[in-house]
Amino acid sequence: MPLGIKIAWSFLGVLVAIAYGLVIAGIIRKVMARIQGRIGPPVWQQFIDLGKVIFQRTATRHGWMFYLAPIFRAGGGIGLYLLIPVVIGVPALSNFSFNGDLLLVMYFIFFGSLGMALGAADSGHPHSPIGISRGLSQMTAYELPFALAMVALAAQVHSFSIHDIIMAQQGGILHWNLFANPLAAIAAFIAFLGMNMYAPFNIVGAPQEIPVGPPTEYNSIFLSLMMSGRAILAVAKIVLYMDLFLGGAHSILAAFVKTIIIYFWSVFVGAVFPRFRTEQAVRFFLGWPTVAGIAGVLLVLIR
């Protein structure tokens, strides 16, 4: 496929991924409201909110990094999405995958979070160090089992290529890494809960506890960038997990079904469990999920 056409398809894919992420966020708000006995906002409320903040203007002044943080968030999500093949065998949806892309993907997942931490540090708010310490502590903790799970898959396939990992899972559902290496899958899917920051790991935003944070500190185009980045990052992560553990997808319908199942895993866990404190979350991720990741690597080595 010519590079120009590939870039055009990738741009269209980014827009579709953002819209898909906004739809998922709207469904989640509706589901959580129903669980709590409320009606909740309509699913399309996310689009209304995004359109509203795009055309707003801000008169606040902070340090430069404060304004760059939403760009880091959106750039991290878009960069991550463009490195991951979405549908197998469809060149327009293969994006810019290459040999060794799993290593770069592991960095891009945390790119936006690090940018937001730098932005919070430059906000001038006296309580921003609390949010930064919470976020980076939890991120460091769940990164360990996630990294171990990625090492286990790479050792199993002898490649750091996401495409090679997908191809190794073809031939039936039992070839999926969800079943071929369940220990690595357990470590990765528990780490996924921390990445999405739903309860019990929503310690950064801490609803009903901290009345400030990115949703209230940012407004206008900066908030729209943060919303868009959050939406596409969510889609990129669930597509990545689909490729790594559920054998990828051969059609858009299969991709939709698998990604919805993966994403709602964190939603339903968040609806059941209350929030951990920071030290509880760190101890949790450094406990059984890390043990499962190590066991997943050892399982590959002893085969």
More confident residue, 182 or 130: 182
| Mean predicted confidence (pLDDT) in 131-139 | 82
* Contacts for 84 with CB less than 8 Å, ≥ 6 apart: 95, 97, 101, 105, 162, 236, 239, 240, 243
> Poorest-confidence range of 107-116, 122-131, 203-212?
203-212
Q: Which helix (H) or strand (E) holds 92?
A: none
Which pLDDT belongs to residue 227?
79
Could you tell me if 112 and 275 are in contact, meaning their C-beta atoms sit under 8 angstroms apart? no
Instruction: Scan for tokens 């590939």, then name that residue.
Output: 6
Query: What's the CA gap between 53 and 232, in Å, rounded?
Result: 17
pTM, 2 dp? 0.84
Which pLDDT belongs to residue 10?
85
C-alpha distances in Å from residue 252, one per residue of 18, 79, 89, 92, 239: 16, 21, 11, 12, 11
> Poorest-confidence range of 39-43, 144-148, 224-228, 293-297?
224-228
